[in-house]
């Protein structure tokens, strides 16, 4: 922010004027809870001025004294922060549409896995793929996500289940981050599943996952450590060991919790003061209560439950309990190929019972909180990074209402018009 004047007036790099609804999401840089989730800080006939990649003004157009040669007229449009997707598995090789069809015919996950499908097929193909191939596959996915308004994306490793491929995936995320306009946040998920070679020595694999952590940290390849904590996968004890090892090396914890059954994941998240616990379809009331006290953010993934025809997470209950709900896409080749946040917002409303305003808070500032980026992005306020969207809708309620449509007309990333 050095060298930027924060007074009202002067020469800006870009001004967006006359927004029908400017959703500033203004407020303290903390997770939004309860009725605060409905407060979008709406300014009618709003303007945003940008300089040096930062917001220098956000308010009413008539109060904006900044000038610029580059202007966007946004009358009759919604202008809002770029979406933050705090949960994806975007780097992978191979697709699984054959498995999708089998599932439609009623074939169960175990049967699919025994035919060589499921996560094991993705692991096999991702292990075989060269770094350049993984980059080539991931880049258009990111382009597409940006076109639908997501400007910050978390990406997990977890299709290697062995040191070399986990490192390869994290390197791909790092290299993509340097190349791509979207900001990427890498997470180490060596504990996504057990690899076949350790099927009779699960503790041995837990040790392998832990052994990799110091290298991941020393090479700055991940900002978080995540575990798939679930019956039949990583037990609470195994998850605790892995996440504690991450914490000991300075990696805040994230956890895939209670997606398939109430497995004690929410309770563990609270015990470790995890930054987020994700899925939570079957989380216990006790676990949710403890998460609230610990400050753990629930990241809900309505696209996955929709795609799998699985039950919805109790989102309304969480909001009523005062939990700061965030939403993510969970984009991955098996359980959720849905990557577009406007679609996820629609599903959060239709399937999970969020109001449109709550879903927008969940996909911006609360998502940023789930990545520890709340003081940098996801609201339109002076000093924040200028990541913003111009949407071809008259009001924010039309984002979920025109379900399946892409409302994005322009994307401004770090102050540059990129789309
Ligand atoms: Zn996931």
pLDDT tens digits along 179-226: 999 999 999 999 999 999 999 999 999 999 999 999 999 999 999 999
Confidence of residue 114 (pLDDT cuts 50, 70, 90): confident
Q: How far is the CA of 86 from the centre of ligand 1 (A)?
A: 10
Q: Is the pLDDT of residue 1 over 50?
A: no
Q: How far is the CA of 211 from the centre of ligand 1 (A)?
A: 22
Q: How far is the CA of 26 from the centre of ligand 1 (A)?
A: 29
Name the pTM for this structure: 0.97
Q: How far is the CA of 340 from the centre of ligand 1 (A)?
A: 15
Q: Is the pLDDT of residue 236 over 90?
A: yes
Q: How far is the CA of 388 from the centre of ligand 1 (A)?
A: 26
- CA distances for 102 relative to 96, 108, 166, 260, 335, angstroms: 10, 8, 29, 20, 13
Rounded to 10°, the helix 163-179/119-128 angle is: 70
Q: How far is the CA of 255 from the centre of ligand 1 (A)?
A: 9
**Could you tell me the two tokens for 86?**
């705090």
Q: How far is the CA of 44 from the centre of ligand 1 (A)?
A: 37
Report the mean per-residue pLDDT for the chain: 96
Q: For the chain, give the percent of residues with pLDDT over 70.
A: 98
413 CB-near residues (< 8 Å, 6+ apart): 82, 146, 151, 181, 182, 386, 387
Q: Is the pLDDT of residue 2 over 60?
A: no
Q: How far is the CA of 58 from the centre of ligand 1 (A)?
A: 35
Q: How far is the CA of 199 from the centre of ligand 1 (A)?
A: 21
Q: Is the pLDDT of residue 406 over 90?
A: yes
Q: Is the pLDDT of residue 141 over 90?
A: yes
Question: Is residue 257 classed as helix, strand or coil in its secondary structure?
Answer: strand
Question: What is the predicted pLDDT for the residue at 266?
Answer: 98
pLDDT tens across 298-354, in order?
999 999 999 999 999 999 999 999 999 999 999 999 999 999 999 999 999 999 999
Q: How far is the CA of 88 from the centre of ligand 1 (A)?
A: 6
Mean pLDDT value across residues 258-267: 96
User: Sign of the C-alpha dihedral, residues 163, 122, 152, 410?
Assistant: positive
Q: How far is the CA of 219 from the centre of ligand 1 (A)?
A: 23
Q: How far is the CA of 257 from the centre of ligand 1 (A)?
A: 10
Q: How far is the CA of 87 from the centre of ligand 1 (A)?
A: 6
Q: How far is the CA of 256 from the centre of ligand 1 (A)?
A: 6
Question: Is residue 105 classed as helix, strand or coil in its secondary structure?
Answer: coil
**Could you tell me the two tokens for 260?**
């398939």
Question: Is residue 278 classed as helix, strand or coil in its secondary structure?
Answer: strand
Q: Is the pLDDT of residue 5 over 60?
A: no
Mean pLDDT value across residues 400-404: 98
pLDDT tens across 358-391, in order?
999 999 999 999 999 999 999 999 999 999 999 9
Question: What is the predicted pLDDT for the residue at 395?
Answer: 98
Q: How far is the CA of 4 from the centre of ligand 1 (A)?
A: 39
Confidence of residue 355 (pLDDT cuts 50, 70, 90): very high
Triad 79, 82, 86: Cα angle to 5°: 150
Q: How far is the CA of 347 from the centre of ligand 1 (A)?
A: 17
- CA distances for 240 relative to 94, 187, 268, angstroms: 31, 17, 7
Q: How far is the CA of 146 from the centre of ligand 1 (A)?
A: 20
Q: In degrees rounded to 5, what are phi and psi of residue 176?
A: -60, -40
DSSP strand E in 308-407: where? 326-327, 388-391
Q: How far is the CA of 330 from the centre of ligand 1 (A)?
A: 5
d(CA 376, CA 381): 10
């Amino acid at each position: 922010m050095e060298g930027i004047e924060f007074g009202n007036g002067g020469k800006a790099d870009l001004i967006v004027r006359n927004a029908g609804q400017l959703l500033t999401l203004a407020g303290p840089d903390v997770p939004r809870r309860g009725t605060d989730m409905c407060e979008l800080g709406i300014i009618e006939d709003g303007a945003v001025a940008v300089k040096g990649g930062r917001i220098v003004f956000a308010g009413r157009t008539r109060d904006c004294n900044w000038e610029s040669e580059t202007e966007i007229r946004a009358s009759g449009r919604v202008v809002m922060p770029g979406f933050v997707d705090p949960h994806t598995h975007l780097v992978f090789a191979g697709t699984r549409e054959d498995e999708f069809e089998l599932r439609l015919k009623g074939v169960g996950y175990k049967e699919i896995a025994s035919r060589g499908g499921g996560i094991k097929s993705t692991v096999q193909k991702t292990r075989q793929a060269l770094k350049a191939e993984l980059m080539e596959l991931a880049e258009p996915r990111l382009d597409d996500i940006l076109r639908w308004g997501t400007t910050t994306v978390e990406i997990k490793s977890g299709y290697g289940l062995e040191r070399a491929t986990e490192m390869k995936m994290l390197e791909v995320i790092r290299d993509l981050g340097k190349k791509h306009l979207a900001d990427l946040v890498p997470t180490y998920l060596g504990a996504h599943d057990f690899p076949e070679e350790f099927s009779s020595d699960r503790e041995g694999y837990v040790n392998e996952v832990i052994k990799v952590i110091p290298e991941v940290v020393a090479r700055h390849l991940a900002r978080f450590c995540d575990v798939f904590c679930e019956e039949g996968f990583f037990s609470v004890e195994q998850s605790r060991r892995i996440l504690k090892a991450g914490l000991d090396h300075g990696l805040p914890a994230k956890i895939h919790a209670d997606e398939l059954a109430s497995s004690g994941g929410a309770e563990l998240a609270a015990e470790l003061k995890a930054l987020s616990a994700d899925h939570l379809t079957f989380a216990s009331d006790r676990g949710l209560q403890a998460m609230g006290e610990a400050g753990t953010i629930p990241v809900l993934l309505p696209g996955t439950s929709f795609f799998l025809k699985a039950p919805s997470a109790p989102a309304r209950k969480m909001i009523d309990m005062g939990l700061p709900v965030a939403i993510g896409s969970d984009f991955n080749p098996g359980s959720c190929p849905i990557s577009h946040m406007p679609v996820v917002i629609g599903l959060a409303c239709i399937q999970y019972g969020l109001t449109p305003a709550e879903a927008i808070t969940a996909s911006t500032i609360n998502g940023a909180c789930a990545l520890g980026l709340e003081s940098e992005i996801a609201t339109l306020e002076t000093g924040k990074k200028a990541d913003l969207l111009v949407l071809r809708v008259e009001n924010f309620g039309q984002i979920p209402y025109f379900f399946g449509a892409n409302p994005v007309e322009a994307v401004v990333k770090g102050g540059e018009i990129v789309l």
